[in-house]
Structure 1
């Protein structure tokens, strides 16, 4: 029974090693592309997490730059958007003004 357990553990370690080597090889061949700002713009929560990790020194590399760029672009776009309530409020005010005019 112990031999079975050892064999299973050995197989798991071999699979993990093969997966790691395959990932490194595919990355080196350019088949797995690094994440760019476009990826992070679509995955905003992940971008903010990566930026935080980079600021703490827990992560380095091109992901830091790409995530920071995407977060800056997302924040700029959010600042350009008018608040949602303002549009509704203006419409509501216009309706009230029309009702007042109709009464008079």
Structure 2
């Protein structure tokens, strides 16, 4: 196994172990609203089937809310 693959396997195993212990908490829509770029990345990964779970739903909700807020702001600026 190459060094890069070995590190990836260790990282995944550590993430699984820590999340099982409750040390890594699932992210909610509030987290993703504050981290918009990460939210869009998670949504893309979920659409590609590279990620599943509650992060997909939370990120999608946050992206929808961010996009709606941007449309409202753009619309309000157009009326001035």
TM-score, normalised on structure 2?
Answer: 0.69
Q: After the TM superposition, which residues 1-104 of structure 1 pair with which residues of structure 2 at under 5 Å, given as runs?
A: 17=10, 22-81=14-73, 82-83=76-77, 87=80
3-state secondary structure, aligned to 1:34? coil
Over 3 Å counting, the alpha-carbon distance change for 1:21 and 1:52 in structure 2 is closer
Greater than 4 Å deviation, 4+ residue runs? 19-22
Q: Unpaired segments of 5 or more residues in structure 2?
A: none
Taking only aligned residues, the RMSD between alpha carbons, in angstroms, comes to 2.4
TM-score, normalised on structure 1?
Answer: 0.56
Q: Which has the larger radius of gyration?
A: 1
Over 3 Å counting, the alpha-carbon distance change for 1:57 and 1:21 in structure 2 is closer
Question: 2:69 & 2:22 partners in 1: Cα distance?
Answer: 32
Greater RCO (Cα-Cα under 8 Å, separation 6 or more):
2
Higher-helix-fraction structure: 1
Q: Unpaired segments of 5 or more residues in structure 1?
A: 1-8, 88-104
Question: 1:58 & 1:34 partners in 2: Cα distance?
Answer: 17
